[in-house]
Structure 1
Amino acid sequence: MDEIKKVRCAIYTRKSHEDGLEQEFNSLDAQYEAAENYVASQKFKGWEVLPERYDDGGFSGGNTSRPALQRLMDDVRSGKVDIVVVYKLDRLSRSLLDFMNLADFFEQHSVSFVSVTQDINTSTSAGRMMLNILMTFAQYEREVIAERIRDKIAGAKRRGKHCGGMPVLGYDTDKDTKKLVINEEEAELVKLIYDLYLQHASAKQVAIELNKRGLRTKSWITRKGKKRDGNVFTGQQVNSTLNNVLYIGRIKHRDKTYEGEHEAIIDKNTWNEVHQLLKGNLVASVSSKNATFSTFKGLLRCGYCGGALGITYTQKKAKRYYYYICRKEEKHIDNCCPLVRIPCGDIEKVIIHELGRLFRTPTMLLNISNATPELETSQIAEVFSSIDFFWSEMFPGEQTRLARLLVENVIVFRDKLHINIKKPGLEAIVRELEIDGDTDINNLDDELVTLTVPLKIKRQHGRKIIISPKTDTQELDPLAKRLAQAHQWNNMLISGEVTSVKDLANRLNLDSAKVGHTIRMTTLAPELQHAVLSGNCPAGLNTNTIRKAIPEDWLEQMKIYQ
Structure 2
Amino acid sequence: MIYIYARQSIDKKDSISIETQIEYAKREIYGEDFKVYQDKGYSGKNTNRPAFEQMMEDLETEDVSKVVVYRLDRISRSIVDFADFINTLEEKKIAFVSATEKFDTSSPMGKAMLYIIIVFAQLERETIAERVRDNYYARVKKGALGGGPAPYGYDIVRQVVNGTKMSVYKENDDIENVRKIFELYSSPNTSLADVQRYLIEHNIKTTSNKNWDNVKLATLLKSPTYVKADISIYNYYKSKKAIIANEPEEFDGKKACVLVGKRSANTRKYSDVTDHLLAIANHNGIIDSDTFLYCQQKLNENKQIKNLHKGKHSWLTGFVKCGNCGYSFSVRNGVTKDGEIKYFACSGRYLHKACDLKQTHRVADVEEYVEKEILTRVEEKRKYAVAAPQEAKVKTLEYDKKIAEIDVKINNLISSLEDATGASMAYINKRIKELDEEKLALINMHSAEIKANKEKAFLPDFDYYNLSFEDKKYLAKLMIDKVILSDQVIEIVWK
Q: TM-score when scaled to structure 2?
A: 0.46
Higher relative contact order (CA 8 A, sep 6+): 2
Q: TM-score when scaled to structure 1?
A: 0.41
